[in-house]
Homo-oligomer: A and B are copies of this chain.
Amino acid sequence: MELSPTAKVVCALIGFGKRTGYEMKQFVDKTTRYFWAASYGQIYPELRRLEEQGLVVSREDPTGGRRRTSYALTDAGREALTAWLARGDGLMFEQRCESMLKLFFSDAAPELRVDQLRSFARALEGNLAALRELQPLAPEMPEGPRLTLEFGIAQMQFMVDWCRRMESRLAADAGRPAAREEATRV
């Protein structure tokens, strides 16, 4: 039983104890979004599909007069989930980073390079700050989430540091080659 990308997260989220579509989305936005995002437009239809396939069961679970639908894994669902975790595939690591793209092509406008790096670093620092806010909760977390949080922080820190290093390297280089250019050209 091959799960679609979204089906994987959804099953995993149910297995993790997130029972409503709404709750799943909130949780994803707070935790996994840095390496795996999900929108309502994926979650709700996927829950339906998974129920049709018999991997989850729904149950009406209103809070007062407010309707709510809770989901739970069936045996087949639990099986599919552990099978997914056990499979050695899905090692993919994809990035889409417009800042790096701009940096790559920055020779078309070299004077903007340092600024690009600087604003990229600032943006990353925003992410870093958001992750750091979760850190106090780390001792209470299961090992999986704790490890990925730690990774996220380390990774953001690495990228910020790299940008800062490049910034100052470029700033330093800017003096000398300018001097050389001057010497040869003038």
Contacts and interface: CB of A to CB of B under 8 A. Distances in A.
How many protomers of this protein does the assembly include? 2
A85 B109 contact: yes
Interface SS of chain A: helix
Interface string A137-154: 000001111011001001
A122 B81 CA distance: 23
Given A35-B101, A92-B98, 5 more contacts: A12-B104, A86-B112, A90-B102, A93-B127, A107-B144
Contacts of A100: 32, 35-36, 148, 151
A62 to B, nearest CB: 28
Interface stretch (A41-49, A53-61, A155-163, A178-186): A155-163
Interface residues of A, number: 61
List the 5 closest pairs (A to B, CB-CB), nearest first.
Answer: A90-B98, A91-B123, A35-B100, A12-B105, A107-B142
Interface in A84-123: 84-86, 88, 90-110, 112-113, 115-116, 119-120, 122-123
